Chains A and B, each alone.
Chain A
């Protein structure tokens, strides 16, 4: 394998790699705008210029030595771009020499000639690659005192993306993304030189289901999200790692929160799951159910009298009513939207406490939703996990296929569910009135919660810690991003500056603290009223119990899940090799 010397250090590298790739894999960052590990090389920003040279040779083929006996290196007088120069054995690269630094400063000066410097208005400010490099690689001066070029601003490229021609530094990342990843080649450069700008072809628009990824990879603020535009500055938000619950792919995401309200979701790189991307559907919809239409407190409805109650009262009523029902007549429904921990406790609750095996969950599969990129047929994040931790009916017990008939015939008179998306099944909704008792853990108001006898407000995925198992049986750990009364003192949660330093009487801290609880905590309290004697204090304890009792999760722990970005069931002791994760804009707060 060829050896390359970069800044005096020798690295072994695979052939057919470029200098910037070798440097990146070995922990060196060569400044760049247009290069992206998942996209083809275009080499048009000229930021990654480096000095490249080979050892000098004598006419007889031997290496020319200096007085100390070292090889003399003949560096090329012109600099090369590291992103498009392939390596060869014995190559020497200098990335920090004076010539290179001068070149970088000149490139920065050129790029900034026509860049409008409207950072105060721009949404990208605070996480902008050009801002970062202006600090690190520019000399802070411009010799250009003419009028800057004016181009089209606020051009709509599609339903979700807005383009600002003046801010664009023509790196072509968006063009390459739409061609190569989104497979919707609608963008192109028009004009030449300093007049160059990017346009959509006539009669087309960028409406691919992955269009909003161009906003993330854009090194400047030329591309902004119509949904998020001007909602908040990035330094006022906290970003916590989570998993998108939109489908069973389990894309890694970051949840951007300000004042306890989710403002945006953005993809987090995970080379084994979603690389750097996520779909627009997940990005724009999956936080809505956390922000709006929430059930705020426990509710009891009997004989048409709906009343809100305290947790204690609702739990004791539930205990009383469930105990009065024969365990053969009760059906327990798990949820593919809930975590492994929640479903595990639910299956324990059914099998150990209620002693019934009428236990199942509704899957949600949609052929129209899936594509060949990230979206999967299964539109729930955790159906594999729910099944794996034991939410499955015993033989000859009631399951989801015969549930409606059994309710009609009166064999099932009570339903306990942690799935609040049952309104997808009109058949089931129509027979809910025939039940004697219907208990639900719900996050949002719906037709179903109106029919329930007891409603417990449940926390959404953004408010809990847990694990999801995706369609490839990869178990991934996520943390809460939004606080509730329950997780107020959750350790390790990232907070924004305002969260840290605001006082109780500041107006920006006047959000409502929701009183919802995680499914397993509700179930544990209820089970303990029925003398189960459980004492789990955290999701981690429950996960460790699952690991102990379930071979599929063997040798996993939250720590390892975080370290290896998720582990596959049955293969946890033999994980994929860790890779250095590329981060395009690394100055983003937390």
Chain B
């Protein structure tokens, strides 16, 4: 029969074995914490605002005169999860190509940020959105109407990219 030696109970001294002082010590710790500043939030009423370096849901940058994207398809090519599908078409603008369809399947997206890194136009960036919820699979495939975001909302990320990319 195995004999168990040097257990936690054997190592405890008399006061520890008595148990009551330890309870008092624990209660004391709780009491002290009540007067320290709080680190938790009342989510979703109180929300966390991430830094510019945060990689949230990828979005398309929308300027005043339309999207920056020229539908080159590099994001779609580099995407390791094959989440992005782009279909190009022709416009009359100086940049003669634009995406007539741009879909990101958020069920496939792994938030790696390769699409942002490869984009030659700085047109797709990672936003700060982190609470992404869907009720159906079709809803999770975001089209252009859900992806386009005005450039003013993305200043933090664009500044981060300018500095660190």
CB within 8 Å of B: which residues of A? Answer: 119-121, 125, 153-154, 229-233, 235-236, 497-498, 501-502, 505-508
Is the pair B82, A230 in contact by a Cβ cutoff of 8 Å? no
| Interface residue range, chain B | 20 to 34
| Chain A residues positioned under 8 Å from B96 (CB to CB) | 121, 153-154
* A474 vs chain B, min Cβ distance (A): 39
| Chain B residues positioned under 8 Å from A498 (CB to CB) | 82
| Chain A residues positioned under 8 Å from B76 (CB to CB) | 236
Residue of B nearest to A120 (CB): B72
Is the pair A120, B141 in contact by a Cβ cutoff of 8 Å? no
CA–CA, A508 to B95, complex, Å?
A: 26
Is the pair B141, A507 in contact by a Cβ cutoff of 8 Å? yes
Partner of B90, one of A230, A232, A502, A507: A230
Partner of A508, one of B71, B85, B137: B85
Partner of B88, one of A230, A502, A505: A230
| Chain B residues positioned under 8 Å from A507 (CB to CB) | 85, 103, 105, 141
| Chain B residues positioned under 8 Å from A236 (CB to CB) | 73, 76-77
Query: Can you give 28 A-B contacts (C-beta < 8 A)?
Result: A119-B72, A120-B74, A120-B97, A120-B120, A120-B121, A121-B70, A121-B72, A121-B97, A125-B72, A153-B96, A230-B71, A230-B88, A230-B89, A230-B90, A231-B88, A232-B88, A233-B73, A235-B77, A236-B73, A236-B76, A498-B82, A501-B82, A502-B82, A506-B82, A506-B105, A507-B85, A507-B141, A508-B85
| Chain A residues positioned under 8 Å from B85 (CB to CB) | 507-508
| Chain A residues positioned under 8 Å from B74 (CB to CB) | 120
Task: Kindly list the 7 A-B residue pairs having the minimum CB-CB distance in the complex, ordered from nearest.
Answer: A120-B72, A230-B88, A233-B73, A121-B97, A120-B120, A120-B70, A121-B70
Q: Is the interface of A mostly helix, strand, loop or mixed?
A: loop
| Chain A residues positioned under 8 Å from B120 (CB to CB) | 119-120
Within 8 A of A (CB), among B63-97: 70-74, 76-77, 82, 85, 88-90, 95-97
CB within 8 Å of A: which residues of B? Answer: 70-74, 76-77, 82, 85, 88-90, 95-97, 103, 105, 120-121, 137, 141
| Chain B residues positioned under 8 Å from A233 (CB to CB) | 72-73, 77
CA–CA, A326 to B137, complex, Å?
A: 59
| Chain A residues positioned under 8 Å from B70 (CB to CB) | 120-121
Residue of A nearest to B69 (CB): A120
Task: Name the residue among A154, A233, A501, A505 with the largest chain B CB count within 10 angstroms.
Answer: A233
* B99 vs chain A, min Cβ distance (A): 10
| Chain B residues positioned under 8 Å from A229 (CB to CB) | 90
| Chain B residues positioned under 8 Å from A119 (CB to CB) | 72, 120
Is the pair B137, A505 in contact by a Cβ cutoff of 8 Å? yes
Extra 5 A-B pairs, beta carbons < 8 Å, given A230-B90, A506-B82, A506-B105: A120-B120, A153-B96, A233-B73, A507-B85, A507-B141
* A496 vs chain B, min Cβ distance (A): 11
CA–CA, A153 to B94, complex, Å?
A: 10
Is the pair A121, B95 in contact by a Cβ cutoff of 8 Å? yes
CA–CA, A355 to B40, complex, Å?
A: 89
* B15 vs chain A, min Cβ distance (A): 63
CA–CA, A351 to B103, complex, Å?
A: 56
| Chain A residues positioned under 8 Å from B121 (CB to CB) | 120
Residue of A nearest to B98 (CB): A230
| Chain A residues positioned under 8 Å from B103 (CB to CB) | 507
| Chain B residues positioned under 8 Å from A154 (CB to CB) | 96
Residue of A nearest to B108 (CB): A506
CA–CA, A154 to B120, complex, Å?
A: 22
CA–CA, A506 to B85, complex, Å?
A: 10
* B24 vs chain A, min Cβ distance (A): 60
